[in-house]
Chain A
Amino acid sequence: MIEFRDLHKSLGGEAILRGIDLVVQEGETLVLLGPSGAGKSVLLKHAIGLLRPDRGDVLVDGVSIARASAAELKRVRRRVGYVFQNAALFDSLTIAENLRLAQDDDRELRDVEECRAEAKVLLERVNLDPSVLDMYPPQLSGGMRKRVGVARAIASHPRYLLWDEPTTGLDPVNAETIDALIKELAAELGVTSIVVTHDLESAFQVGDRIALLYEGRIHICAPPEEVFTSTDPVVQRFVRRGRVSVPAAV
Chain B
Amino acid sequence: MSTVVSPAPLRGVLSGLETIGRAALLAVSIVRILPRPRMYLRSFINQAYLMGIRSLPLVLLMAFLGGAVTSQQTGAQFTGALPLWVIGSVVAASVITELGPVLTAIVLVGRIGASIAAEIASMKVTEQIDALYAMGRDPVVYLVVPRVLAGVVVLPPLVVLADAMGVFSGWGIGLLVVDGLTSADFVYGMRFYFRPWALIFSVLKAGAFGFAITFLACFIGLEGRGGAEGVGRTTTAAVVATTIAIMVLDVALVPVLKMY
Q: CB within 8 Å of B: which residues of A?
A: 45, 48-50, 74-75, 77-78, 80, 82, 84-86, 88-92, 101-102, 105-107, 152, 156
Contacts and interface: CB of A to CB of B under 8 A. Distances in A.
B127 A84 contact: yes
B130 A50 contact: yes
Given A84-B127, A106-B141, 19 more contacts: A50-B133, A77-B133, A77-B134, A77-B135, A77-B136, A78-B135, A78-B136, A80-B134, A82-B134, A86-B127, A88-B126, A88-B128, A88-B130, A88-B131, A90-B131, A92-B119, A105-B136, A105-B137, A152-B135
A50 B134 contact: yes
B137 A101 contact: yes
Contacts of A50: 130, 133-134
B145 to A, nearest CB: 12
Nearest to B142: A101
Contacts of B130: 45, 50, 84, 88
B131 A82 contact: yes
Contact of A74 (B39, B127, B136): B136
Contacts of A85: 127
Contacts of B131: 82, 84, 88-90
Contacts of B137: 101, 105-106
Contacts of B39: 106-107
Interface in B88-134: 119, 123, 126-128, 130-134
Contact of B128 (A90, A102, A105, A156): A90
A40 B126 CA distance: 17
29 contacts: A45-B130, A48-B134, A50-B133, A75-B136, A77-B133, A77-B134, A77-B136, A78-B135, A82-B131, A82-B135, A84-B127, A84-B130, A86-B126, A86-B127, A88-B127, A88-B130, A88-B131, A89-B128, A89-B131, A90-B128, A90-B131, A92-B119, A101-B132, A101-B135, A101-B137, A106-B137, A106-B138, A106-B141, A152-B135
A107 B33 CA distance: 12
Which label, helix, strand, loop or mixed, suits the secondary structure of the A interface? loop
A157 to B, nearest CB: 13
Those 4 A-B pairs whose CB atoms lie nearest each other, nearest first? A82-B134, A88-B131, A88-B127, A77-B136
**Most B Cβ at <10 Å: residue of A80, A88, A105:** A88
A91 B39 CA distance: 20
Nearest to A149: B131
Nearest to B132: A101
A156 B134 CA distance: 11
Nearest to A164: B127
Contacts of A106: 39, 137-138, 141
Interface string B151-177: 000000000000000000000000000
A215 B125 CA distance: 26
A90 B123 CA distance: 8
A75 B136 CA distance: 7
Interface string B24-49: 00000000000000010000000000
B29 to A, nearest CB: 10
A88 B39 CA distance: 22
Contacts of A92: 119
A164 B50 CA distance: 35
A77 B119 CA distance: 25
A48 B136 CA distance: 10
B196 to A, nearest CB: 41
A91 B122 CA distance: 10
Contacts of B133: 48-50, 77
A90 to B, nearest CB: 6
Contact of B135 (A45, A49, A156): A156
Nearest to B138: A106
Contacts of B136: 74-75, 77-78, 105
A50 B134 CA distance: 8
